[in-house]
Amino acid sequence: MYEAFLSYIQDYSVTPLSEADKETLTRNFTLKKYRKKQFFLQEGEVCRYHGFVLSGAMRQYSVDDKGVEHVIRLSIENWWVGDRESFAMSTPSIYNIDAWEDSEVLVAEKDRFNEMLQIPAMAEMTRKLDEKHAFALQRRVNAAISLQAEQRLEELENTYPLLLQRFPQHIIASYLGITKETLSRIRNQAAKKNQE
């Protein structure tokens, strides 16, 4: 169960995990199973866990005054899940996180997670992922404010093609900040071009 998780940490660090490190990690991360549509976190709650998705798919979203969902993050196997701000600051979250598919997630509470940052490989992985996350966030904001819908879809297809296979059109559209009708039109136009 922990093999994929430990391999993931090792992939992001040059520092090897000792047997003691592995034992600490497996002791402090607990397996939780989420049924489809079950909440990992609900708006107004403090995010108590940081999780690593072993299997399944999850989405993080807010809901506006009109009841419209705005997807800000999608997570599949070997991705992390949680509201980083709420987790770090112990403040109520403005997001919901739920399982889009039945999911298995390794979770750690804040104190245990912070304790595990004493493990050199875990600290190194976290630094690299924070940097990667910052770059991805910059690209996402830039795409949202400067790219046409077609370009945003193309960038998603090139960067995270598996998300398009795992999530339905209305969730992908929300993630891209467009309507599902616009996404459908773009895909139809692309299909016609490919047939020519």
DSSP per-residue codes, 111-153: HHHHHHTTSHHHHHHHHHHHHHHHHHHHHHHHHHHHS-HHHHH
- The chain-wide mean pLDDT, for the chain, equals 94
Phi, psi of 109 (to 5 degrees): -70, 160
Over the stretch 3-52, which tens digit does the pLDDT of each residue have? 999 999 999 999 999 999 999 999 999 999 999 999 999 999 999 999 99
Over the stretch 57-66, which tens digit does the pLDDT of each residue have? 999 999 999 9
**Mean pLDDT in residue range 101-122:** 95
- The domain spans of the chain are 3-118
Can you give the pTM of this predicted structure? Answer: 0.91
Q: Which residues contact 78 (CB under 8 A, 6 or more apart)?
A: 4, 8, 52, 53
Q: What CATH architecture applies to the domain 3-118?
A: Sandwich (2.60)
Residue 196 pLDDT greater than 70, yes or no: no
Residue 195 pLDDT greater than 90, yes or no: no
